[in-house]
Amino acid sequence: MVWFSYHGGHSGEFCAHAKSTLEEIVETAIERGFTHYGLSEHCPRYRVEDLYPGEEDCGIAGLAKAFDGYVKRAFALRDARAGEIELLIGFETETLPPEGWLDAMTALRQAHPFDYIVGSVHDICGRWVDFSPADTTALAADLGGPEALHLAYFDTVTTMVETLRPDIVAHLDLVRKFEPPRFGFSPRVLSVVERTLEAIRASGGILDVNCAAFRNGYGPVYPLPQILERARAMGIRVTLGDDSHGVKTVGVGLDRSLAAIASAGYDSVAYLTRTDGWREAPLDTLKPGRI
Ligand SMILES: [Zn+2]
Ligand SMILES: [Zn+2]
């Protein structure tokens, strides 16, 4: 019996918009029955204009220092708690700075013996797609409307997947975060999503079925059923991500991710181990933890 998540473990110790210490998060993951838990702190940013809102006091140098601190603490916890939980250590990428992000992410990936990386796109040309409805609406207007925003976003994800080849592709349709509950992508956007899925399949990437959208009141888990069903038909594997940002969210909502995976027709979920790489857990062998 296994229970796992690979996108999350953000902590207030190393991330300004998260809460709790990393050790508290690991402690909570153990208490909640996880057998494998991935830590994927946000990568640092390299330009002042790419700081997340709230990071102004920390600054570029502060972010680099915090990330180094995260790496040290994460690997130390992995060894210290090895008898209780298998921790996998990674980080969540950005397509920032808009020029040079691939070199920056590749260098960071090679700088430490990470178990995996989570490939994410949160911006279009340096402007956030997921920070606030007002910012996203303004960005869509500047690009020519919501459909243009969706097309630009999925094109960026496709490029990220083809070039960076992340182990896990995060919250694939994050761009619809602020759309109304019954939202669905247009046929034109879906044809571009098809290319994104082709890229994920070709790179061997695994889809993060991420419950943060549901937990935070932004519709179903990422990605929407119309995308998840297509991913299954194409043979793309999926894993679980709680996108936790503090002890309160460790594992919370993963039942929704599992339900979406089952509804899309999957009969197993992929999980990463340190010794054997990716393995498949049939749905009936998963042991959802105690929340
Ligand atoms: Zn975050
Ligand atoms: Zn993210």
221: containing domain: 4-285
Which ligand sits nearest to residue 9's alpha carbon?
Answer: 1
For residue 31, is it within any domain? yes
For residue 290, is it within any domain? no
Share of the chain above pLDDT 70, in %: 100
pLDDT in tens, 152-167: 999 999 999 999 999 9
For residue 241, is it within any domain? yes
Q: What is the CATH number of the domain that holds 160?
A: 3.20.20.140
pLDDT at 116: 98
Q: What is the distance in A from the centroid of ligand 1 to the CA of 111? A: 22
pLDDT in tens, 4-58: 999 999 999 999 999 999 999 999 999 999 999 999 999 999 999 999 999 999 9
Whole-angstrom Cα distance, residue 180 to residue 202?
32
Which ligand sits nearest to residue 170's alpha carbon?
Answer: 2
For residue 185, is it within any domain? yes
pLDDT at 217: 92
Which ligand sits nearest to residue 177's alpha carbon?
Answer: 2
Which ligand sits nearest to residue 92's alpha carbon?
Answer: 2
pLDDT over threshold 80, residue 290: no
Q: What is the distance in A from the centroid of ligand 1 to the CA of 187? A: 30
For residue 97, is it within any domain? yes
For residue 73, is it within any domain? yes
The DSSP-derived string for the chain is -B-EE-S----TTT-TT--S-HHHHHHHHHHTT-SEEEEEEEPP-SSGGGSPTT-TTTHHHHHHHHHHHHHHHHHHHHHHTTTT-EEEEEEE----STTTHHHHHHHHHHHTT-SEEEE---EETTEESSS-HHHHHHHHHHHTSHHHHHHHHHHHHHHHHHHH--SEE--TTGGGTTS-TT----HHHHHHHHHHHHHHHHHT-EEEEETHHHHTTSSSSBSPHHHHHHHHHTT--EEEE----SGGGTTTTHHHHHHHHHHTT--EEEEEETTTEEEEEEGGGB-----
Q: What is the distance in A from the centroid of ligand 2 to the CA of 247? A: 17
Which ligand sits nearest to residue 7's alpha carbon?
Answer: 2
Q: What is the distance in A from the centroid of ligand 2 to the CA of 59? A: 20
pLDDT over threshold 90, residue 287: no
Number of domains the chain contains:
1
* Average pLDDT of the residues of the chain: 97
Q: What is the distance in A from the centroid of ligand 2 to the CA of 121? A: 7
pLDDT at 181: 85
Q: What is the distance in A from the centroid of ligand 2 to the CA of 122? A: 7
Which ligand sits nearest to residue 128's alpha carbon?
Answer: 2
Asked if residues 33 and 3 have their Cβ atoms less than 8 Å apart, the reply is yes
Contacts (Cβ under 8 Å, ≥6 apart) of 52: 16, 17, 42, 45, 131
Which ligand sits nearest to residue 19's alpha carbon?
Answer: 1
